[in-house]
C-alpha cells in the first residue's frame, strides 16, 4: 500500500556526519603535516613539519636523490603488503568497491595504513596526489563509525560518503566540490537524506581546516576576462584534445599496473623498480632545468604555469605532460600509494598552457591570456578522467574564486568528459572495478515506474504500432504461423471490441505444447 509519509531523520544522521567531518578534517591536517615531515626528513635531512608545496622541491643529497624514491617506495610496499593491500593505489576505487559490494564496510585499519603509506610515497617523491588518500581515510573513518554503531548498510554507506566528501572539501578548501564528489562518484543515491549529511560533514571539515591552516584558495590565478565570443571555439577544441590526453592517461595507468601485476617477482621488488625509474627521471629533469617537476604533488609547477607561462615553451610543457603521465603510472603501477587528482591537475595545467601559447601565437587578437587556458585545462582534465563534470566545474570555482572563467571552463569540461565517455571503457576510477567484474551504475535516474499508472504503460505497450494483435479465440497454431510470417516473438491478444486482454509469446506456446506431449506419453 502506498504511503505519502516522508521518511523521518533520526538524530544520528545530523550528529554523526558532523563527527565524521571533524575527524576527516583532523585526518587531512595530520596527513598534510606528515607529508611535510617525510619531505623534510628525506630531502633536507632534518625534522620539520612545515613545507610549502607551492615552492619547488630542493635536496641536500645531490645525485643520491635517486635513492629517496627507492627507499620510500620499498617501505610503502612492505607496509601495504603486510598491513592492508587495499591501501595500495589511488584509494577511490577501493571506496567505491566497498559501497557496491560490501555494504560500505571498510576495515578500520585502512585509515591508519593509508595515511602512513601515502605520506611515505608522496614525501619521498612519488608522483601522486594527496586527494585520493584523504578520500579513503575519510571514508574509512565514516565506515568505521557506522560499523561500530551497527548502523544499517544505508547508514554506513552514507557516513562513508560523508567522510569522502569531507576529505575532498578539506583538501581543496572546497565544500561544494566535496559534496558533488560524493554525489557523482561515491553514493548510489541522491536525495535529501543523503545531501543533508554530506553538507554537514563537508562544511565541518572545511571550517576546521580553515581555522587551522587559513582560508586561502588552493591556487591563485590571474583575473580573466573573456574579451570575445570567438575565443569559445578555441576552448571547445582544447576540451576535445584534453579528452584525448585523458584517455591516454587512463590507459597508461592501468597498462603499467597490469604489467607489474603480471611480472612474476617478489612484490617487495616491484616498488624498488618503480622508485629507481621515478628517481632517475626526476634527477635528469633537475640536472637539465633545476627542478624535479615530477616529484610529489606538483603544486609548485601548477602555480608557476597558471600564474604566467613566460618561462615555459610549448615543447617543454608537452614533454612535462608525457613525463608526468609516465611517472604517475610508474609510481602507482609498481605498488605506490597516492591519488591521481593532483597529477591530473598538473597534466591539465601544462597541456592547457601549451595550447594557450599556441592559440595566442596563431590568434593574437582573440586569445590574449595563455594562463587562462592552463586554468581551464585543469578543470577539463579532472572532469574528463573522473566522470564528475559538475564537481570539476564547481570545485574549480571554489579553488580559484574566479567566476568569470566559468563559461569557457564549462565548455571544455563537458567536451572532455564526453570524449572520455565514448572512447574509454570507464573513468579512471571505474576501470579498476570493471576489471573485478563489479558493475558500476552510471545514471542517477528517477524511478518513473513509481509515478506512472499501469494503465498508461499497458496502453502504450498494446498500441497497434508497437505490437501486432491476434483475436482471443484464434488457435495456437494460427498464432505461431502469424508470428513466423511477421518475424515477431509475441502478440497482443484482443477481444471482439479490440481491447487488449493479454500477451501470448512463442516460447510459452512451444513450452505448453511440449509439456502436453510429455504428459500424453506418460
Q: What is the mean pLDDT of residues 86-108?
A: 85
| Mean pLDDT, all residues of the chain | 86
pLDDT of residue 160: 94
Question: Is 259 a residue whose pLDDT tops 90?
Answer: yes
The residue written with cell numbers 610515497 in the block is 121
Query: Is 448 buried (19+), middle (13-18) or exposed (0-12) by CB count in 10 A?
Result: exposed
**pLDDT confidence bin for 303, thresholds 50/70/90:** confident
What is the SS3 assignment for 87-153? HCECCHHHHHHHHHHCCCCCCCHHHHHHHHHHHHHHHCCCCCECHHHHHHHHHHHHHHHHHHCCCCH
pLDDT, average across residues 411-435: 92
* Least confident piece of the model among 113-117, 216-220, 377-381, 402-406: 216-220
Range from 146-160, 398-412, 475-489 that averages highest in pLDDT: 146-160
pLDDT number for residue 197:
93
Q: Which of 129, 304, 321 is nearest to 241 (CA)?
A: 321
The CB density around residue 437, as the number of other CB atoms within 10 Å, is 7
Where in the chain is CATH 3.10.580.10? 451-521
DSSP secondary structure string for all residues of 315-326 = HHHHHHHHHHHH
Where does the pLDDT of residue 522 fall: very low under 50, low under 70, confident under 90, or very high at 90 and above?
Answer: very low
- Tell me if 239 sits within 8 A of 412, measured CB to CB: yes
- Model confidence at 5, pLDDT cuts 50, 70, 90, reads very low
Q: What is the pLDDT at residue 274? A: 94
**CATH number given to 12-213:** 1.10.3080.10
Where are the extended beta strands (E) located within 189-323?
Answer: none
The predicted model gives 385-414 an average pLDDT of 87
Do 400 and 375 form a contact (C-beta atoms < 8 A)? yes
Longest CA–CA span in the chain (Å) reads 94
| Percent of the chain's residues with pLDDT above 70 | 90
| Mean pLDDT, residues 490-505 taken together | 82
Averaged over 205-229, what is the pLDDT?
Answer: 80
**Average of pLDDT values for 306-324?**
88
Query: Given strand 490-494, what is the order of strands in its sheet?
Result: 469-471, 490-494, 500-505
Mean pLDDT along residues 116-141: 91
DSSP reduced 3-state for 504: strand
Using a 10 angstrom Cβ sphere, with 0-12 exposed, 13-18 middle and 19 or more buried, the burial of residue 491 is: buried
With bands split at pLDDT 50, 70 and 90, how would you rate the model's confidence at 452? low
Residues with Cβ within 8 Å of 483's Cβ and at least 6 positions away in sequence, in order, are 489, 490, 491, 506
The DSSP secondary-structure symbol of 359 reads: H
Greater confidence, 507 or 381? 381
- Alpha carbons within 13 angstroms on the beta-carbon side of residue 364 total 1
> Could you tell me the pTM of the whole model?
0.83
Beta bridge partners of 505: 490
pLDDT given at position 26: 93
Fold of 451-521: CBS-domain (3.10.580)
Q: According to CATH, where is 1.10.3080.10 located in the chain?
A: 12-213, 229-435
**CATH number for the segment(s) 229-435:** 1.10.3080.10
From the CA atom positions of the chain, what is the Rg in Å?
28
Taking residues 504-515, what's their average pLDDT?
A: 72
pLDDT of residue 454: 54
Is the pLDDT confidence value at 459 over 80? no
Determine the pLDDT at residue 518.
Answer: 45
How many other C-beta atoms lie within 10 A of the C-beta of residue 287? 9
Q: How far apart are CA 504 and CA 480, in angstroms?
A: 10
Q: Which of 174-188, 190-204, 255-269, 315-329 has the highest mean pLDDT?
A: 315-329
Sign of the torsion angle spanned by Cα atoms 465, 466, 467, 471: negative
* Mean pLDDT confidence for 186-207: 90
Amino acid at each position: 500500500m502506498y504511503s505519502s509519509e516522508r521518511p523521518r531523520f533520526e538524530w544520528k544522521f545530523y550528529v554523526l556526519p558532523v563527527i565524521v567531518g571533524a575527524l576527516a578534517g583532523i585526518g587531512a591536517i595530520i596527513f598534510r603535516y606528515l607529508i611535510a615531515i617525510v619531505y623534510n626528513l628525506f630531502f633536507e635531512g632534518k625534522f620539520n613539519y612545515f613545507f610549502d608545496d607551492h615552492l619547488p622541491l630542493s635536496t641536500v643529497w645531490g645525485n643520491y636523490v635517486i635513492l629517496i624514491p627507492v627507499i620510500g617506495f620499498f617501505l610503502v610496499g612492505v607496509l601495504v603488503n603486510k598491513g592492508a593491500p587495499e591501501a595500495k593505489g589511488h584509494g577511490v576505487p577501493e571506496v567505491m568497491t566497498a559501497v557496491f559490494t560490501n555494504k560500505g564496510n571498510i576495515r578500520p585499519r585502512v585509515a591508519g595504513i593509508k595515511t602512513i603509506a601515502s605520506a611515505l610515497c608522496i614525501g619521498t617523491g612519488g608522483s601522486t596526489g594527496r586527494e585520493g588518500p584523504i578520500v579513503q581515510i575519510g571514508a574509512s573513518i565514516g565506515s568505521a563509525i557506522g560499523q561500530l554503531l551497527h548502523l544499517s548498510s544505508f547508514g554506513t554507506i552514507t557516513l562513508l560518503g560523508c567522510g569522502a566528501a569531507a576529505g575532498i572539501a578539506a583538501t581543496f578548501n572546497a565544500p561544494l566540490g566535496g559534496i558533488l564528489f560524493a554525489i557523482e562518484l561515491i553514493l548510489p543515491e541522491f536525495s535529501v537524506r543523503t545531501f543533508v549529511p554530506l553538507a554537514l560533514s563537508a562544511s565541518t571539515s572545511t571550517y576546521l581546516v580553515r581555522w587551522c591552516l587559513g582560508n586561502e584558495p588552493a591556487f591563485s590565478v590571474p583575473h580573466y576576462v573573456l574579451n570575445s565570443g570567438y575565443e569559445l571555439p578555441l576552448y571547445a577544441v582544447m576540451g576535445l584534445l584534453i579528452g584525448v590526453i585523458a584517455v591516454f592517461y587512463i590507459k597508461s595507468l592501468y597498462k603499467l599496473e597490469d604489467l607489474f601485476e603480471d611480472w612474476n617477482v617478489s612484490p617487495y621488488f616491484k616498488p624498488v623498480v618503480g622508485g629507481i625509474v621515478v628517481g632517475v627521471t626526476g634527477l635528469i629533469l633537475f640536472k637539465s632545468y633545476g627542478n624535479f617537476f615530477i616529484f610529489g604533488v606538483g603544486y609548485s609547477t601548477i602555480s608557476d604555469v597558471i600564474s604566467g607561462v613566460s618561462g615555459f615553451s610549448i615543447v617543454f610543457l608537452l614533454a612535462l605532460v608525457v613525463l608526468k603521465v609516465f611517472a604517475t603510472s610508474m609510481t602507482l603501477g609498481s605498488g605506490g600509494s597516492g591519488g591521481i587528482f593532483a597529477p591530473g591537475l598538473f597534466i591539465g595545467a601544462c597541456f592547457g598552457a601549451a595550447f594557450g601559447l599556441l592559440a595566442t601565437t596563431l590568434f593574437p587578437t582573440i586569445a590574449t591570456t595563455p594562463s587562462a587556458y592552463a586554468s581551464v585545462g585543469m578543470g577539463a582534465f579532472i572532469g574528463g578522467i573522473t566522470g564528475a563534470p559538475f564537481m570539476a566545474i564547481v570545485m574549480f570555482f571554489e579553488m580559484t574564486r574566479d567566476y568569470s572563467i566559468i563559461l569557457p571552463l564549462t565548455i571544455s569540461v563537458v567536451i572532455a568528459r564526453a570524449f572520455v565517455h565514448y572512447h574509454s571503457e570507464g573513468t579512471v576510477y571505474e576501470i579498476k572495478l570493471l576489471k573485478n567484474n563489479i558493475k558500476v551504475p552510471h545514471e542517477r535516474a528517477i524511478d518513473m515506474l513509481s509515478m506512472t499508472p499501469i494503465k498508461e504503460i499497458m496502453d502504450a505497450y498494446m498500441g497497434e504500432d508497437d505490437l501486432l494483435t491476434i483475436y482471443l479465440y484464434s488457435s495456437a497454431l494460427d498464432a505461431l504461423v502469424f508470428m513466423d510470417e511477421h518475424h515477431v516473438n509475441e502478440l497482443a491478444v484482443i477481444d471482439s471490441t479490440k481491447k487488449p486482454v493479454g500477451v501470448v509469446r512463442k516460447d510459452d506456446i512451444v513450452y505448453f505444447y511440449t509439456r502436453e506431449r510429455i504428459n500424453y506419453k506418460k
